[in-house]
Chain A
Amino acid sequence: MRWILRILCLSALSLSLGCGGKSERAPATTSGGASNLPRATTTTPSRPTSVAETDPRGGEISAVSDPDNIYGRTLDEINADSPLRDVPFDFDSAVLLESARPILDRTAEWLQSYSTVTLLVEGHCDERGTVEYNLALGERRATAAYNYLVSLGIPASRLKTISYGKEFPLDPGHTESAWARNRRAHFEVTSK
């Protein structure tokens, strides 16, 4: 079941990325945090229906001030159209980039708004490392994001970490931009 949800989540995310929905939903985020995500430069002729559009509350960034945004939706719906952005990393590195901090700051802010929410922090890697080492590297990426959130005052009890190594690439491509998208810490809402 979880894997089916994951597929839904990934496909919904890629749909929304593909049509520029991500940038529209996140106008308030600082530009530095978006540098790792390839923004759509061309507009597709007909926008595919995404979760964001079918849910009247999903298309707003005002998640912080709109509690209904998560309380009116299931976990699957929240994760399929997550208000939380992925944290980027350099190759073979779990060091938080400057561009990661605004993303994590916003994640912490969001967590403070929704004080009952718990998150799973997933560490992911690009395909260029080895299977075995990437499991360890992904864990370190998840832990880096986790430690930063805890340092901002988020109780550790609300966060768990896991590494998926290079097993679940967000982008199946073999390009620099695909690799950049796949090196990430990703947040899944596990309870609200």
Chain B
Amino acid sequence: MRPHCGSSRNRAARPTRELAGSLRERVLDALATVYDPELDEPITELGFVTCCEVGADGDVAVRLRLPTSQCAPNFAFLMAADARDAVRGLPGVRTVGVVLEDHMTDDEINAAVARDGRFADAFPGETRGELHALRDVFRRKALVARQAGVCQALLVTGATPEAVTSLRVVDLPEDAEVRRCLHLRAALGIACDADAAAFVLADGRPVAAAELERWLRMAWLVRTSLESNGGLCRALLERRSGLEEVAV
């Protein structure tokens, strides 16, 4: 029998009481590499994965639910398609079904994702191209926002603008935030080898000492925007989940 998530929602999509290395755990790990392109946070941490079922034959069923039915269709499509692609390549997985639920364009998106289609297949005639450019706009925002945090942390320890802007990638601390920055740089085609500048503008040019203050001020605003959007999404999703629990 094929696995299915049925109508039960808000089942914690976390690998609790599972054998290490079980297929479901690996599927969840793969889903954790799928980021909300607008917020640059994993969909698993945002609580968007409401169900993840793995059948004995390797058939995987995933359900996604966004904070509102009105979330932007392009980002919604990206998350559903990315989830499909992330799980599909895993050893032991035979089929993958990803379903976006309770969204204003769920019919269009689910049909396209199921038949392995592109965004233009979901909305024929309503797009000019695919979503690469859109995704890159938000990767640049995320890079700017995350670098601001890393940079600020160095400045509060007393580092001067000259010192900070002369740092190389190899000088940066090895933490998750820096790893994400480098991942974004690689995805954007911005140099990220050990000798590359530690802090770059959105277009990839190194930040100069003289422009550091202004860059940080702008970067901090981008960070505030991403964080507060994430906060708003979480608040709305909590409410949505709460309502469901009452209704069940």
A and B part of one assembly: no
